[in-house]
Chains A and B, each alone.
Chain A
Amino acid sequence: EPEVTQTPSHQVTQMGQEVILRCVPISNHLYFYWYRQILGQKVEFLVSFYNNEISEKSEIFDDQFSVERPDGSNFTLKIRSTKLEDSAMYFCASRGTTDEQYFGPGTRLTVT
């Protein structure tokens, strides 16, 4: 069964450093999303992406964040200058023509 993959599974970085989280969505899906989940809290929407551009973004998704689909398979989330409060699980999701989202296993980001 096709699945969304994410790398790395765990990323440790120092405050102020840039990180890139990578996702490979399901191959025929057209809509892509990033979410984050701070430990013990709810899943929060960050951004959606369709047709090579951002469709929607939340208040969390400020100028420190950017997304890119550099080729036909990868979808990346970049955080330019990480802060302690960016520590969270980051989930990528993709969707085809139905309303069902498929989530990846997540990347645990730890900012020290």
Chain B
Amino acid sequence: SQKIEQNSEALNIQEGKTATLTCNYTNYSPAYLQWYRQDPGRGPVFLLLIRENEKEKRKERLKVTFDTTLKQSLFHITASQPADSATYLCALDLYNYGQNFVFGPGTRLSVLP
């Protein structure tokens, strides 16, 4: 059956370091993959989308890679700040036509000052 996993439930890093979060999936062939940020008690906020023909996407301090052979996406936050502390979710479009999205369980990132 189809599955999305994120490498760890929680990740602690020191301020200024690069955080790397992993999203792995099985039994999907996604045309694209999305990353969201979720703060406690709030709705997810869209961050980045990467398509299957894109190896890498950047937005300010964020970088996403997508390896369809490994069935994996990496999400990097460079020069991390305590304000980056949140849960980060990856999401896939189950049938690739924008009507059914599956979210990973999330990784809770804590950036320590």
Contact = CB atoms under 8 A, between A and B. Distances in A.
A42 B106 contact: yes
B68 to A, nearest CB: 17
Contacts of B94: 45
B43 A104 contact: yes
Interface string A55-72: 110100000000000000
Nearest to A104: B43
Contacts of A103: 43-45
B46 A106 contact: no
A89 B87 CA distance: 16
A99 interface: yes
Nearest to A99: B49
A99 B43 contact: no
Interface string A33-55: 10100000111110010100001
A44 B98 contact: no
Contact of B46 (A33, A55, A101, A105): A101
Nearest to A100: B46
A103 B46 CA distance: 8
B99 A56 contact: yes
B109 to A, nearest CB: 16
7 contacts: A42-B104, A45-B102, A56-B100, A103-B44, A104-B43, A105-B42, A106-B43
Given A35-B103, A43-B44, A101-B101, 9 more contacts: A41-B105, A43-B38, A50-B99, A93-B43, A99-B32, A100-B34, A101-B34, A101-B46, A103-B45
> A-B pairs with the 6 shortest C-beta distances?
A103-B43, A43-B103, A55-B99, A56-B100, A56-B99, A48-B99
